Chain A
Amino acid sequence: MVVKGIIKSKVYFDSVSLMRIGSELSSMPGVEDVAMVMGTDENKSILKVSEMLLSEFSDSNGNDLLIGVKADSEEIVEKVLEKMESLLEALQKGDSSTTTFVPKSIDGALKVLPEANLAMISIAGKYAANEARKALNNNLHVMIFSDNVSIEDELSLKKLGKEKGLLVMGPDCGTAIINGVPLAFANRVRKGDIGVVGASGTGMQEVTSLISNFGGGVSQAIGTGGRDVKKEIGGVMFLEGLKALKNDKNTKIITLVSKPPHQDVIDKIALELKGCEKPVVALFLGANKEELSDFPAEICTTLEETAQKSVELSLQLSLARECEFSNEDVLRERGKKSSNQKYIRALFSGGTFCDETGILLRDSLTDLYGNHSGKSILPLENLLKSQKHTLIDLGEDDFTVGRPHPMIDFSLRNKRIIQEASDPECSVIILDVVLGYGAHPAPDAELVPIITKALSINPNLTVISYVVGTDADPQNRKQVISALQNAGSLIVSSNRAAALFALEIVK
Chain B
Amino acid sequence: MSIDNLFSGSIQVVNLGLSSFLDALKESNTPHVQVDWKPGLDVDPSLISKFDKNRDIVDKANKEATDIIASGSPFLTGMAQAFEVIPGMHKKLILHAGPPITWDRMCGPMKGAIIGALIYENLASNPEEAEKLASSGEIEYSPCHEHNSVGPMAGIISYSMPVFIVKNKTFGNETYCTQNEGLGKVLRYGAFSEEVVNRLRWMETTLYPTLKKAVEFLGEIDLKALISQALHMGDEVHNRNRAGTSLFYRVIAPAIVRTSENREDAAKALEFIHGNDHFFLNLSMPASKAILDAARGIKNSSIVVVMARNGTDFGIQIAGDSKKWYTGKALVPDALFFPGFTKNDANPDIGDSAITETAGLGGFAIAASPAIVQFVGGNASDALNYTMEMYEITASESRYFQIPSLNFRGTPTAIDIRKVVEKNITPFIDTGVAHKEPGVGQVGAGVLRAPSEPFQKGYVGFASLLDE
Could you tell me which A residues sit within 8 Å of B by CB distance? Answer: 14, 16-17, 19-20, 22-23, 33-37, 42, 45-47, 49-52, 68, 95, 97-99, 101-113, 115-124, 127, 130-131, 133, 135, 137, 139-141, 145-146, 164-167, 178-184, 186, 188, 219-220, 240-241, 243-244, 247-248, 250, 437-438, 474
A102 B36 Cβ-Cβ under 8 A: yes
Asked if residues B423 and A104 are in contact (CB atoms below 8 Å), the reply is: yes
**B13 contacts A119, C-beta separation under 8 Å:** yes
Q: Name A110's closest neighbour in chain B (CB-CB).
A: B14
CB within 8 Å for A181 and B30 given contacts A101-B389, A108-B391: yes
The contact of A116 among B4, B5, B12, by CB within 8 Å, is: B12
Q: Is B55 part of the contact surface with A, judged by Cβ < 8 Å?
A: yes
Chain B residues numbered 163-183 whose CB sits less than 8 Å from any CB in chain A: 183
Q: Quick check: A104 and B392 within 8 Å, CB to CB?
A: yes
Contact residues in A for B3 (Cβ distance below 8 Å): 141, 165-167, 240-241, 243-244, 247
A133 and B6 contact, CB distance less than 8 A: no
Query: How far apart are the CA atoms of A142 and B36 in the complex, in Å?
Result: 18
B341 close to chain A: CB less than 8 A: yes
Give the contacting residue for A145; candidates B18, B52, B388; CB below 8 A: B18
Interface string of B189-218 (1 = CB under 8 A from A): 000000000000000000000000000000
Instruction: Determine the distance from Cα of A403 to Cα of B389 in the docked complex, in whole angstroms.
Output: 33
Q: Do A181 and B25 form a contact, CB below 8 Å, given A108-B35, A121-B17?
A: yes
Across the A-B interface, the 6 shortest Cβ-Cβ residue pairs: A50-B340, A122-B17, A35-B339, A19-B336, A244-B3, A101-B388
CA gap between A437 and B444 in the complex, in Å: 51
- What is the size, in residues, of chain B's interface with A at 8 Å between Cβ atoms? 66
What residues of chain A lie closer than 8 Å to B17, measured between beta carbons? 120-123, 145-146
- CB within 8 A of A119: which of B14, B23, B337, B378? B14
Partner of B12, one of A118, A123, A220, A247: A118
Bits for B293-331, please: 1 = Cβ < 8 Å to A, else 0. Answer: 000000000000000000000000000000000000000
Which of A23, A122, A220 touches B16 (beta carbons < 8 Å)?
Answer: A122
A134 CA / B212 CA spacing, docked (Å) = 53
Contacts of B2 in A (CB 8 A): 165
Assess A33 versus B378: contact at CB under 8 Å? Given A109-B14, A179-B10: no
B372 within 8 A of A: yes
Taking CB atoms, residues of chain B closer than 8 Å to A120 are 13-17, 21
Q: Are A117 and B6 closer than 8 Å at their CB atoms?
A: yes
| B32 & A122 in contact (Cβ 8 Å cutoff) | no
Bound-state CA distance A124–B374 (Å) is 36
B311 to chain A, nearest CB (A): 21
* Given A115-B31, A167-B6, A131:B16 Cβ within 8 A: yes
> Which residues of chain B come closer than 8 Å to A437, judged between CB atoms?
20-21, 23-24
Q: Which of B1, B13, B36, B339 contacts A37 (CB 8 A)?
A: B339
Complex interface: chain A residues within 8 A of B375 (CB): 16
Q: Which residues of B contact A131 (CB under 8 A)?
A: 16, 37
What is the CA–CA distance of A220 and B7 in the complex, to the nearest angstrom?
8
Contacts known (A102-B36, A127-B39, A130-B48); A248 close to B7, Cβ less than 8 A: yes
CA distance A480 to B35 in the complex (A): 34
Q: Which residues of A contact B391 (CB under 8 A)?
A: 108, 111
Q: Bound complex: CA of A122 vs CA of B15, how far in Å? A: 8
A111 to B391, CA, bound (A): 9
Report if B381 contacts A (CB, 8 A): yes
Query: Is B33 at the interface (CB under 8 A from chain A)?
Result: yes
Q: Is the CB of B338 within 8 A of A116?
A: no
Q: Are B14 and A118 in contact (CB under 8 A)?
A: yes
Cα of A111 to Cα of B14 in the assembled complex, Å? 11
Show 13 residue pairs from A and B whose CB-CB distance is below 8 angstroms, ordered by the A residue. Answer: A33-B340, A42-B183, A50-B339, A101-B384, A104-B392, A108-B391, A109-B35, A116-B31, A120-B21, A141-B1, A165-B3, A181-B24, A437-B23
A103 to B336, CA, bound (A): 28
Q: Which residues of B contact A103 (CB under 8 A)?
A: 33, 35-36, 392
Q: With A97-B381, A104-B389 as given contacts, are A49 and B11 in contact (CB-CB < 8 Å)?
A: no
**Known contacts A103-B36, A141-B1, A437-B20; can you find 13 more A-B pairs with CB under 8 A?**
A46-B339, A97-B379, A104-B389, A113-B12, A120-B13, A123-B16, A140-B14, A146-B17, A167-B3, A179-B6, A181-B25, A182-B24, A220-B7
- Binary contact readout B267-294 vs A (1 if CB under 8 angstroms, 0 otherwise): 0000000000000000000000000000
State whether the Cβ of B125 lies closer than 8 Å to any Cβ in chain A. Answer: no
| A474 / chain B contacts, CB cutoff of 8 Å | 23, 27
How far in angstroms is the closest Cβ of chain B from A216?
A: 18
Which A residues touch B37, using CB under 8 A? 104-105, 123, 131
Residues of B within 8 A of A112 (CB): 33
Q: How far is the CA of A166 from the CA of B7 in the complex (A)?
A: 12
CB nearest neighbor in A for B392: A108
Please name the residue on chain B nearest to A219 by beta carbon. Answer: B7
Question: Measured between alpha carbons, how far is A474 from B23 in the docked complex, in Å?
Answer: 10
* Most central of A178, A180, A250 by chain B CB within 10 Å: A178
State the CA gap A17–B373 with chains docked (Å).
9
> Could you say which residues of chain A place their CB within 8 Å of the CB of B379?
95, 97, 99
Across the interface, which residues of B come within 8 angstroms of A188, CB to CB? Answer: 24
Residues of B near A102 (CB, < 8 A) are: 34-36
Please indicate the chain B residues that have their CB under 8 angstroms from the CB of A52 in the complex. 339-340
Does B399 count as interface, using CB distance less than 8 angstroms? no
- Give, as a whole number of angstroms, the nearest-CB distance from B426 to chain A: 12
> Would you call A105 and B23 a contact (CB within 8 A)?
no
CB distance from A65 to the nearest CB of B (A): 13
B385 near A438 with CB under 8 A, answer: no
Give complex CA distance A376, B244 in Å: 82
- Residues in B whose Cβ lies below 8 Å from that of A219: 7
Q: Measured between C-beta atoms, what is the minimum distance from A305 to chain B in Å?
A: 27
Kindly state whether residue B88 has any CB partner on chain A within 8 Å: no
Is B354 close to A, CB under 8 A?
A: no
